[in-house]
Amino acid sequence: MRETVQIRAARLEDCKRLAVMFHKLWPTGSIEEHGKEVRSLVDGTAKLTMPIGVLVAEIERDGVIGFVEVDLRSHADGCDPAQPVGYVEGWYVAEKYRRSGVGAKLIAAAEEWAREFGCVEMGSDAVIENDVSQRAHAALGYEVVDRCVHFRKRL
Ligand SMILES: CC(C)(COP(=O)(O)OP(=O)(O)OC[C@H]1O[C@@H](n2cnc3c(N)ncnc32)[C@H](O)[C@@H]1OP(=O)(O)O)[C@@H](O)C(=O)NCCC(=O)NCCS
């Protein structure tokens, strides 16, 4: 992309747009629900046991065009359980800006966020059908450590 992409921590004024993007990534939650969630993360009122960062990608012409939500997990599949790992909880770039390096910039910033907490490993996941996400993870140096099928049964 020709325009400069700035990656920065999300601010309160980003929350409306972020709620829409969260909903696109996690459609089981409504825009309103995601709005409340992201607002509490950004204004620091969310009750958290581990820190969470919401980082956004912004361009001058169109504002916020993507985000990454990163946190710390005490352990993650394939990672050393001796210390917390940075974990990519959510990663999204608006459709018209994909394939121009914005996602890579967001992941680099998420990794930097985790490094600041002393992490030496990063974990992430993608559903098996999400081929694009798997390719993008692989392109950014993430190796597959496990493939999983989840089950449920009503009791
Ligand atoms: C996954 C996603 C965030 C990647 O964002 P992006 O800005 O397009 O990523 P980048 O442009 O930085 O791509 C980095 C590399 O990933 C790979 N890649 C990305 N999209 C790809 C695609 N559609 N097909 C094949 N490889 C792809 C490429 O190697 C690419 O580098 P290149 O363009 O120099 O070849 C974006 O596709 C997205 O928002 N998808 C929908 C939401 C989603 O699935 N999120 C992940 C949930 S686990």
Q: Give the separation between CA 93 and CA 99, rounded to whole angstroms.
A: 9
Q: pLDDT tens, 87-135?
A: 999 999 999 999 999 999 999 999 999 999 999 999 999 999 999 999 9
Task: Label residue 2 by pLDDT band (50, 70, 90).
Answer: confident
Using the mean position of ligand 1's atoms as its centre, give its distance from the Cα of residue 27 in Å: 19
Contact 70, 88 (CB under 8 A): yes
Q: Which two tokens stand for residue 23?
A: 């909903």
Mean per-residue pLDDT over the chain, rounded: 97
Range 35-40 average pLDDT: 97
Q: Which two tokens stand for residue 84?
A: 């917390």
Residue identified by tokens 């004024």 is 13
Q: Which CATH architecture has domain 6-139?
A: 3-Layer(aba) Sandwich (3.40)
> Of all protein residues, whose CA lies closest to atom 44 belonging to ligand 1?
133
Select from 81, 53, 77, 56 the least CA-distant residue to 66: 56
- The pick from 5, 21, 99 for probing ligand 1's pocket by mutation, whose C-beta has the most ligand atoms within 8 angstroms, reads 99
* Single pTM value for the model: 0.97
Domain boundaries, the chain: 6-139
> Of all protein residues, whose CA lies closest to atom 23 belonging to ligand 1?
132
